[in-house]
Structure 1
């Protein structure tokens, strides 16, 4: 997915998938530690504004990714922000109900940068989400 840029210098990438389930079912799969751990990586998530989310990409904790929840709107949307080498990165999760017992899950990564130094890495995130979304669909 190509990197989008706005006039203020904000950049973003996104990925989405349609999955079976109600918004509440999908929310439990993407916005709780036990749910997300079933299809992504071992994770904890403290569901509230100011709460934290931690994803463990290595068993020894050397690749933990931690963020602070800045928006919490169950079962529709949450945003987690984390500092990084590229500046603050916001990850937004959106659940939209569709007909036929389906929901669209969209994840958007946003960051501010004055150069394109990080664009390839974030573009890679969007492709990575597509692979994990296949697991989410199977889980639901």
Structure 2
């Protein structure tokens, strides 16, 4: 039977209209808050490509009105599945900006509820990450670190273990202080800035750390590092994730 869905989000951010456009409509900007590596071929006939490992998701740009409106839609699969995004940007007095996002799509089949719930919770995390980026790191380019852990068969146990490894309670709340140690990396000192049943976010002075219950049954790290150090930490995070399930 399937399910057509739509989600609307809105926030006022402490960034200029131009900074918001840069964040949503350029590859380096999207890298600074979204998953994977991103490329944007600009213009009304352009495209957006997001690469995770060996998989690349392509989307056609459907609206291109810089710096106020940007929309793109993924290719429809044979069963009708698709996802689309539309961003609306409106300037406010004293340099702030209203950002609106409309996400929509279609999920095929009769068992769409679980996938929709995962998409809803994951989408909330990514919008919150975009807002955090614009409020705290606007104009800076983040280096993405994306790592997937081993398959998870017991999510409550795995999620609790992750939180303990980060020095958090089993049910962290926004505002909780964080001081965590990952072998081989500098100490992570910051605050929980996002939490729901499928995602936990930590903000530090030079990074946004994101831990997500992945769609394909593993914990996924989607970090954005704003420090000037360009050391590749992928293998270090991979070893840490693997160790959680050892």
Q: 1:39 to 1:120 in 2, by over 3 A?
A: closer
Larger radius of gyration: 2
Structure 1 partner of 2:32: 38
Confirm whether residue 131 of structure 1 aligns to residue 128 of structure 2.
yes
Give the number of aligned pairs: 129
Residue 8 of structure 2 is aligned with which of 2, 14, 28?
Answer: 14
Determine helix, strand or coil for the equivalent of 1:48.
coil
Which is bigger in relative contact order (C-alpha 8 A, separation at least 6)?
A: 1
Q: 1:105 to 1:86 in 2, by over 3 A?
A: farther
Confirm whether residue 97 of structure 1 aligns to residue 94 of structure 2.
no
Residue 61 of structure 1 is aligned with which of 54, 59, 65?
Answer: 54
Deviation (angstroms), 1:86: 5.6
Residue 109 of structure 1 is aligned with which of 77, 100, 103?
Answer: 103
Instruction: Structure 2: state its 5+ residue gaps.
Output: 139-246
Is the 2:82–2:107 Cα contact (8 Å) retained in structure 1? no
Instruction: Structure 1: state its 5+ residue gaps.
Output: 1-8
Determine helix, strand or coil for the equivalent of 1:39.
coil
> Relative to structure 2, which stretch is displaced further, 117-126 or 99-108?
117-126
CA RMSD of aligned residues (A): 2.4
CA distance in 2, matches of 1:67, 1:88: 10
Is the 1:39–1:139 Cα contact (8 Å) retained in structure 2? no
Confirm whether residue 71 of structure 1 aligns to residue 63 of structure 2.
yes
Determine helix, strand or coil for the equivalent of 1:55.
strand
Q: 1:22 to 1:136 in 2, by over 3 A?
A: closer
Confirm whether residue 47 of structure 1 aligns to residue 39 of structure 2.
no
Determine helix, strand or coil for the equivalent of 2:81.
coil
Deviation (angstroms), 1:112: 4.2
Residue 87 of structure 1 is aligned with which of 61, 81, 93?
Answer: 81
Deviation (angstroms), 1:65: 2.5
Deviations 1:3-23 (A, max 9, x none): xxxxxx742012232222221
